[in-house]
Amino acid sequence: MTTKHSIFHAPTSATRTLTSLLLCCLLSLPMLHCSSQSSTQLPSAAACDHEQLRRDIGEMLLVGFRGLTADDTSHIIRDIRQHHIGGVLLFEYDAPSHSRPRNISSPTQLQHLCRQLQTADSTPLFIAIDQEGGRVNRLKSQYGFPPFASAKAMARGGADSVKHYARLTAHTLHTLGINLNFAPCVDVDVNPDCPIIGRIERSFSADAERVAQCAAWWIEAHHEEGVVCCLKHFPGHGSSLADTHLGLADVSDTWQEHELIPYRRLIAAGKADMVMTTHVYNALLDSLQPATLSRRTLTDLLRDSLGFDGVVITDDMAMGAMTQHYTLRDMLLGAIEAGADMLCLSNNGDQYDPDIVPHTIDLIVALVDEGRLAPQRIAQSAQRIRTLKETQLHPSR
C-alpha cells in the first residue's frame, strides 16, 4: 500500500491527527485474500485455510443419494457445488426404504442423470458404481441393459470370455457417463462358501495368479474406455465366514498371505488406480483394528510394503461391521489416520441422511481443530484424488 502525500496541502495539526488515525486503520487490515472472496472482503489467513480445508475434505467424500434425476433442488447438487464432493455412488436399490428404483431405471434416464451430475460444477466428479456382473450388478436386464456374467462364470469361459465382458462393461459405463467402477473384485476364492464372495461367484478363481491375470484384462478394457477401476477388498475377504454388510467378520484363522498376490502383481504392473479397504478384522495384520481403521494394514502393508501410492477408498461406512461398533466420528478419524483417502458414504444402510455431507465435513473440521488430524494429512489425500482424476479420467468426461 502507498500513500500519495502530495494530495495534502499545508496540513493542520487536526488534519495530521485524523490522517494518522485513518492510515493506522487501513494498515491494520489483513493483506491476504481468498480467490472466492470479493476484493472488499479480506479474510484472515485462518479463514483462507479453513475454506481450503473444507474443500479438501469435500474431495475426500464419495456419496450416495436418492433420485432418478438431479436438479437444482437436489441436495446432491448442493453437495457438488457448495461442498465440492469428490464423487457420487449410484444404486439400483434403496435399502432404507426397501424399494427400487433409486438411481437407475433405463439407459436413457441414467445417461441423463450422469450428465446432470457431471455438469453441475466445473470440477471433475467421480460417478461410481459397483458393476462386477452376476449378483453384483446395478445395470439389470429388466432396465434395458445387456446381461453381465459373474466373475467366476466369465473366468470359467477363459481369456476371451473375461475380455468380452470387460469390454462390454467398460463400454456400457463409458456410454452412460460413469467413470469409476468398483471392480474388479480381486478376492481369492479361499472359501467357496464365503457368503459375500465365493457363494455368489464374485471371485475369478481360487488361484491367486489367475485372479491377477483376469483382473489385469478387466482393467485394460476399462482404461481403453477412460473408466477408472478399483481393486477390492484389501487385504482379502475371500476366506471369511461372515458378511461385513451384516457385522464384523474375523478372518484371523482363515486368511492366507497369497491373498495379497493380486494386489502385488497389479500394483507392480502399474494397473492399480484405486484400492478399496474391507472391514474385516485380521489379527495376523493388526490385533486391534479392522482393516479400514488399521494403519498397519493400509500404510505399513499397502503403501510401504506393496508400494501403492494411489487412492485408497474405504468400503461403505454404513455397513454393519462399522456402524455396530463405531460412531461416525470414530470411523472418520480411524480411517483417515490409517491412510484412507476417500470415504465411501453410501447413504444406503439403515438410514438416509440428506445432510450427511455437511455433517461429515463438520466432524472432520472439528477433528482438525482439536489437533486429532493434521490439515496436511487431509491435503495429501485430496491431492491424490485430484491427481487420479487428472491422469485417468477420459477427456470426454
- Which amino acid type is present at position 245? H
CA distance linking residue 61 with residue 347, whole number of Å: 12
Alpha helices in 28-106 (DSSP H): 45-59, 75-81
Question: Which one of 112, 164, 223, 245 is the catalytic residue?
Answer: 245
Q: Does residue 315 have an active-site annotation?
A: yes
Distance spanning both ends of the chain, measured CA to CA: 44
CA distance linking residue 334 with residue 340, whole number of Å: 9
Q: Does residue 245 have an active-site annotation?
A: yes
CA distance linking residue 152 with residue 155, whole number of Å: 5
Question: Which one of 273, 315, 316, 341 is the catalytic residue?
Answer: 315
CA distance linking residue 335 with residue 348, whole number of Å: 19
CA distance linking residue 393 with residue 227, whole number of Å: 7
Report whether 166 contacts 157 (CB < 8 A): no
All cell numbers assigned to 143: 432396465
Helix (H, G, I), strand (E, B) or coil at 61: strand
CA distance linking residue 58 with residue 30, whole number of Å: 27
All cell numbers assigned to 351: 438410514
CA distances (Å), 319 to each of 133, 186, 237, 242, in order? Answer: 21, 20, 14, 13
Report whether 185 contacts 203 (CB < 8 A): yes
CA distance linking residue 180 with residue 177, whole number of Å: 9
Report whether 391 contacts 385 (CB < 8 A): no
- Strand-pairing partners, residue 161, are none
Tell me which residues are annotated as active site: 245, 315
